[in-house]
Amino acid sequence: MFQIRPFDAPLGAEVIDIDLGKPLAAADYERMINAFHDHSLLVFRDQDITPEQHIAFSKRLGELQVHIQSTYHLPGYPEIYSISNVVDENGKPIGLADAGKVWHTDLSYVTQPSRCSLLHALEVPHDDSGKPLGDTLFASTIRAYEALPDATKRRLVGLKAMHSYMHIFDKITAMKRVGAANLVPLTEEQKKKVPDVMHPVVITHPYTRKKILFVNEGITVSIAGLPQAEGAALLQELVDHAHKPEFVYRHSWRAGDLLMWDNFSTQHLAMHDYALPRRRRMRRTTVQGSTPVYDPLPT
């Protein structure tokens, strides 16, 4: 029987004594999912799982998404996205080194963004004193919404924002001078698969019914229906607000960690404070969610 230990933080809990390599009984799965919705992020330590087991566990949550950056699919497993600064014996990157360099919500640029992501750490970099590097920060979009002034909450009702893959691509490419960078330009065919999409600025969580501030620095381009300058100022105010320190949990990785986070109720940022020969090697799946909607009824 596994234990759930909530963090002393705005979000997150550790699940203790669980082996994700083994199928979970229906009642255990339900207890885990309830904890996931309560805490937005679950940490499973010491998971020694294969790609097949990672996929099998992820699939219990829904249909898996295949990332548009096909260069970094784990060979033989298109549902697994490799995130790594490591290169093979021919100098070829084995994964995307640039992942998460700006605050974002995974795949908010598609009509049905990721319900959740499951990131498994195989190798974690450390500094000379043994302190882990390459932490990931997660901000609660529920807390962020709740902390908005009432006048701002009223102003946001009915507003929609545009989300774009090319926006985060361009932002990360512009940061190339900072550390490793290996995003691969999309072909015209791939670009057609990720057209810009509109989502409400405030959405209702599909399971908990809580209200969520659903804009992020990396992928949200603009707010529609407002004069350009007013929309740009509002978007900047919201994306800056969304990751204030009081909404943030910072995860220090250990090899074997598997983190599962809710992409509706969190957004995240990866710290790029390491470089080869310090190696970071992770594998990620993303589970398709529903189309974000705003439901005006109170939670």
Cite the active site residues.
104, 106, 268, 284
256/117 Cα distance (integer angstroms):
16
Q: How far is the CB of 117 from ligand SIN (least distance, A)?
A: 6
Number of C-beta neighbours around residue 295 at 10 A = 14
Q: Considering the complex, state which of residue 57 and residue 261 has its C-beta at the smaller distance from ligand SIN.
A: 261
Q: Considering the complex, state which of residue 114 and residue 222 has its C-beta at the smaller distance from ligand SIN.
A: 114
Return the residue matching tokens 């470089």: 275
44/58 Cα distance (integer angstroms):
13
Q: Considering the complex, state which of residue 67 and residue 205 has its C-beta at the smaller distance from ligand SIN.
A: 67
Burial category of 152 from C-beta neighbours within 10 Å (exposed 0-12, middle 13-18, buried 19 and up): middle
Q: What stretches of 67-174 adopt beta strand conformation (E)?
A: 73-74, 77-84, 114-123, 136-140, 160-163
96/43 Cα distance (integer angstroms):
22
211's tokens: 């209200």
Q: How far is the CB of 271 from ligand SIN (least distance, A)?
A: 8
DSSP secondary structure, 261-276, as one string: EETTTEEEEE-----T
**Binding site residues, ligand SIN, CB under 6 A:** 83, 99-100, 106, 117, 136, 268, 270, 282, 284
Q: How far is the CB of 97 from ligand SIN (least distance, A)?
A: 10
Q: Considering the complex, state which of residue 72 and residue 145 has its C-beta at the smaller distance from ligand SIN.
A: 72
In the complex, residue closest to ligand SIN by CB: 100
Q: How far is the CB of 268 from ligand SIN (least distance, A)?
A: 6
Q: How far is the CB of 153 from ligand SIN (least distance, A)?
A: 28
Q: How far is the CB of 131 from ligand SIN (least distance, A)?
A: 16
Residues 193 and 67: beta-carbon distance below 8 Å: no
120/49 Cα distance (integer angstroms):
9
Residues 215 and 239: beta-carbon distance below 8 Å: yes
Is the backbone of residue 76 left (phi > 0), alpha (psi -120 to 50) or beta?
Answer: left
208/35 Cα distance (integer angstroms):
11
Q: Considering the complex, state which of residue 264 and residue 294 has its C-beta at the smaller distance from ligand SIN.
A: 264
Q: Considering the complex, state which of residue 136 and residue 204 has its C-beta at the smaller distance from ligand SIN.
A: 136
Burial category of 268 from C-beta neighbours within 10 Å (exposed 0-12, middle 13-18, buried 19 and up): buried
